[in-house]
Amino acid sequence: MKSKFAIALGFLVVLMAAAIGFYIHAVYRPLPSTGKGPRGAETPDATTSLIAKGEYLARIGDCVACHTDPGGKVFAGGRAMATPFGPLYTPNITPDDETGIGAWSADDFYRMMHTGISRDGTLLYPAMPFASYTKVTRDDSDAMYAYLMSVNPVKQKNRPHELRFPYNQRELLVGWRTLYFSEGEFKSDPAKDATWNRGAYLVQGLGHCAMCHTAVNRLGGSSESQAFEGGMIPNQNWYAPSLTSNREAGLGNWSIKEIKDLLQAGASDRGTVYGPMAEVVYHSLQYMTDADAEAMAVYLKDLPKRDAEPPPTSQARLVQPAVMELGRKTYDKQCAMCHGAEGKGSPPGFPPLAGNQSITMPSPVNSIRMVLNGGYPPGTYRNPRPHGMPPFNHILNDEEAAAVVTYIRVAWNNAGTPVSPTQVNELRKLLPE
Residue 54 or residue 303, greater confidence? 54
| pLDDT at residue 422 greater than cutoff 60 | yes
How do residues 382-397 score in pLDDT, each as one tens digit? 999 888 899 999 999 9
Query: For residue 29, what pLDDT is reported?
Result: 46
Query: For residue 168, what pLDDT is reported?
Result: 87
How far CA 205 is from CA of 187, 197, 240, 301, in Å, comes to 11, 12, 18, 17
Calpha distance 287→60 (Å, rounded): 8
Question: Residue 63 carries which side chain, given as an amino acid letter?
Answer: C
Helix/strand/coil for 265: helix
Taking phi over 0 as left and psi of -120 to 50 as alpha, with beta for the rest, 413 belongs to: left
Residues of the chain with pLDDT > 70: what percent? 87
Once rounded to an integer, what is the mean pLDDT over residues 399-405?
97
pLDDT band at residue 91, thresholds of 50, 70 and 90?
very high
pLDDT band at residue 45, thresholds of 50, 70 and 90?
low
pTM, two decimal places: 0.84
Task: Determine if the peptide bond prior to 166 is cis (ω within 30°).
Answer: yes
How do residues 251-267 score in pLDDT, each as one tens digit? 888 899 999 999 999 99
Write phi, then psi, for 110 (nearest 5 degrees): -65, -40
| pLDDT at residue 2 greater than cutoff 70 | no
Query: For residue 309, what pLDDT is reported?
Result: 59
Once rounded to an integer, what is the mean pLDDT over residues 103-126?
95
Query: For residue 217, what pLDDT is reported?
Result: 82
Question: Residue 332 carries which side chain, given as an amino acid letter?
Answer: D
Calpha distance 144→283 (Å, rounded): 16
Are the C-beta atoms of residues 244 and 253 closer than 8 Å to each other?
Answer: no
How do residues 155-211 score in pLDDT, each as one tens digit? 999 999 999 998 888 888 898 899 889 999 999 999 999 999 999 999 999 999 998
pLDDT band at residue 312, thresholds of 50, 70 and 90?
low
Calpha distance 280→286 (Å, rounded): 9
The angle subtended at Cα 137 by Cα 135 and Cα 143, nearest 5°, is: 130
| pLDDT at residue 425 greater than cutoff 70 | yes
pLDDT band at residue 10, thresholds of 50, 70 and 90?
very low
pLDDT band at residue 38, thresholds of 50, 70 and 90?
very low
Lowest mean pLDDT among 129-143, 200-214, 309-323: 309-323
pLDDT band at residue 409, thresholds of 50, 70 and 90?
very high
Domain positions in the chain are: 27-180, 194-301, 316-428
**Burial class of residue 413 (count of CB atoms within 10 Å of its CB; 0-12, 13-18, 19+):** middle
Gyration radius of the chain's alpha carbons: 24
Query: For residue 364, what pLDDT is reported?
Result: 92
Residue 26 or residue 347, greater confidence? 347
316-428: CATH architecture = Orthogonal Bundle (1.10)
Calpha distance 350→344 (Å, rounded): 9
- Residue 399, C-beta contacts closer than 8 angstroms, at least 6 positions apart: 326, 421
How do residues 346-361 score in pLDDT, each as one tens digit? 988 888 999 888 888 8
